[in-house]
Chains A and B, each alone.
Chain A
Amino acid sequence: MSHNEFKQMIQLSLYGELSDDKQKLLIAHLESCEECRMELEHQKKIMTLIADHKNLEVNEDLLKEARLQLRGALRQERNNVHSFNSFTNYILQLFSTPPRLAFGAVSVLILGIIIGSIFMGREKLIVNENDPKFTNASIFENDLRISNIQFIDSDPSDGEIDFTFDAVKQVHFKGNVNDPKVQSILTYAMLNDQNPGSRFNSINVMDSYGKVTLDKDIKDALITVTMTDNNQGVRREALKLLGRISFDESVKQTYLFVLLNDSSSALRIEALNALIEAAKSGHSLNQKDLDLVIKQAGQDNNNYIKLKSKTLLQEYN
């Protein structure tokens, strides 16, 4: 066996990953080989040096930050999946029962015509200022909103510029907060709208209307928003509205999740208070959940939470 092979065995031996037979062979060789004994000492020094400088430990703040960013990314990911699934499910549902077949076929035909007209039949509208199609009236009438202006040629040196834009028509909708159509739009907005203000308002209008009835879809949406929205104000609003839904396992798990993971102490306090109220009303936490509260909320950097978590434990005991 060569020195090089023994040197490799030394490294494996230091890892504790050398078989017994080879370990004996190595020990016997080391007794008679000064070069390999020096190699052993050298490798030990290197490994000690490296082990002593195991810097860049993961700290709690970094982990919390990474978790929060991940929640936002997952929220976006779920929205993408949800939108795609909803569409495909809807199409598949059309074919799920024979009586619907004819209706489904007609719907798909209509859909095909629409898609065809969008992607094939309709050319991109290209106009210039001298074009008779272009008038202020035709572009701006009917409440069209101009957005997403993209410049193709923004250099005005030759007197012309070239750009595209989206002309979006605003829809005015008036209805009762308990109307399923209204709730469906608000639920979609709270989950999908890019503007946190719109997400906040979508939740807030349901919360402001005292007699609102919230179904399971809204509850699920509120749980998702409470756990994953990257805006603290939106999460707080969702948590508040969640408090008006009857307390059950999923609501309890959401409160626990917020208490143990949310970066905002205000939200953690609200979640803790909600759990205490639930305890007072006779709802129970299992031992595993209580252990989690003892372990993590008890170590919270917020003193109020530390103290209050003891109250929670007293209530459940």
Chain B
Amino acid sequence: MELAEKELIIKAQNGDTIAFEQLVYNYDRAVLSIAMRYVRDEDDAKDIYQEVFIRVFRGLKKFEFRSEFSTWLFRITTNVCLTFKSRKKGQIMVSIQEEFDENQEGSETMDLISKQRSPEEETLNNDLGLLIGNAVDSLTTRQRITFVLKHYEGYKIREIAEMLNCKEGTVKKYLFDAVKNLKKKLKPLNALQS
């Protein structure tokens, strides 16, 4: 841990408002980015962001430098993401807990398309990015957070394991399953592209 950061943490632990704000600003972009890619909604991402830093504020005095501050912070971030419940009523957060039936791949993709509600969203269905985003949304929460941290944020498997407080093997399993599920979801697209 850099000395400057350690000083900031100690100052913040002693109630220094400016030090705490500085600490927040060192990491908040990364936190918001994870939240944004996890929930794919600005308001929900801001809710996660706020919850993360309120928990950091409450827990900072108990932080004893046994791990990197960033590891601790991102562990909080992943926990908040995993337990996050959107305040938006009617929002569809698909979670596929079971294996897909190989014969239903086409209809799974169609399901993702038909889950859009507003006319604007209907128009956006043609957007490949949205379709991919919906496919990512359909992963289980743990598959989704590991996928986001690995593929979008570029963290190492070891780092993700620290954040999720689990073994590297478990993270690999989530990633294998996530990619396997996405491949199934996006297979019709892939065939279309090639």
Asked if A66 contacts B152 (CB within 8 A), the reply is no
Flag the segment in A19-27, A70-78, A267-275, A306-314 that touches B.
A70-78
Chain A residue numbers with a CB within 8 Å of B85 are none
Asked if A74 contacts B46 (CB within 8 A), the reply is no
Asked if A66 contacts B18 (CB within 8 A), the reply is no
B74 → chain A closest CB, angstroms: 15
Is A17 interfacial (CB 8 A cutoff)?
yes
- In the complex, A46→B193 CA distance in Å? 11
A132 → chain B closest CB, angstroms: 48
Asked if B58 contacts A77 (CB within 8 A), the reply is yes
Q: Number of A-B pairs whose CB atoms are under 8 Å? A: 102
Asked if B176 contacts A53 (CB within 8 A), the reply is no
Known: A8-B172, A58-B32. A53 touches B129 (CB 8 A): yes
Main DSSP-derived SS at the B contact region: helix
The 8 Å CB contact of B17, one of A50, A54, A73, A227, is A227
Q: List A residues 148-202 near B (Cβ within 8 Å).
A: none
Q: List B residues 106-141 near A (Cβ within 8 Å).
A: 128-129, 132-133, 136
- In the complex, A253→B24 CA distance in Å? 16
Q: List A residues 37-89 near B (Cβ within 8 Å).
A: 42-43, 45-47, 49-51, 53-58, 62-63, 65-67, 69-70, 73-74, 77-78
Q: Which residue of A lies closest to B154 (CB)?
A: A15
The 8 Å CB contact of A227, one of B21, B32, B150, is B21
Q: Which residue of A lies closest to B30 (CB)?
A: A58
Asked if A77 contacts B54 (CB within 8 A), the reply is yes
Is B167 interfacial (CB 8 A cutoff)?
no
Q: Which residue of B lies closest to A65 (CB)?
A: B46
Main DSSP-derived SS at the A contact region: helix
Q: List B residues 42-98 near A (Cβ within 8 Å).
A: 42, 45-46, 49-50, 53-54, 57-58
Known: A17-B157, A46-B186, A56-B36. A8 touches B176 (CB 8 A): yes
Asked if A69 contacts B190 (CB within 8 A), the reply is no
Chain A residue numbers with a CB within 8 Å of B42 are 62
Chain B residue numbers with a CB within 8 Å of A46 are 179, 182-183, 186, 190
Is B156 interfacial (CB 8 A cutoff)?
yes
Is B6 interfacial (CB 8 A cutoff)?
no
Is B40 interfacial (CB 8 A cutoff)?
yes
Binary flags per residue of A222-252, CB closer than 8 Å to B gives 1, else 0: 0110011000000000000000000000100
Known: A53-B129, A66-B28, A227-B21. A47 touches B151 (CB 8 A): yes
- In the complex, A39→B29 CA distance in Å? 35
Q: List B residues 1-34 near A (Cβ within 8 Å).
A: 17-18, 20-21, 24-25, 28-29, 32-33
Binary flags per residue of B174-194, CB closer than 8 Å to A gives 1, else 0: 011001001100100110011
- In the complex, A49→B190 CA distance in Å? 9
Is B144 interfacial (CB 8 A cutoff)?
no
Q: Which residue of A lies closest to B173 (CB)?
A: A8
Asked if A56 contacts B40 (CB within 8 A), the reply is yes
Asked if A45 contacts B36 (CB within 8 A), the reply is no
The 8 Å CB contact of B32, one of A42, A66, A73, is A66
Asked if A50 contacts B132 (CB within 8 A), the reply is yes
- In the complex, A67→B25 CA distance in Å? 9
Give residues in A with beta carbon < 8 Å to B. 8, 11-12, 15, 17, 42-43, 45-47, 49-51, 53-58, 62-63, 65-67, 69-70, 73-74, 77-78, 223-224, 227-228, 250, 253-254, 257, 261
Could you list 10 further interchain pairs (A-B, Cβ under 8 angstroms) beyond the known A58-B32, A63-B32, A73-B50?
A15-B150, A49-B132, A49-B193, A50-B182, A55-B129, A58-B33, A62-B42, A67-B28, A77-B54, A223-B17
A-B interface, 10 closest residue pairs, ranked by CB to CB distance from nearest: A53-B129, A55-B129, A66-B46, A66-B49, A58-B33, A53-B132, A58-B32, A56-B36, A253-B18, A70-B50
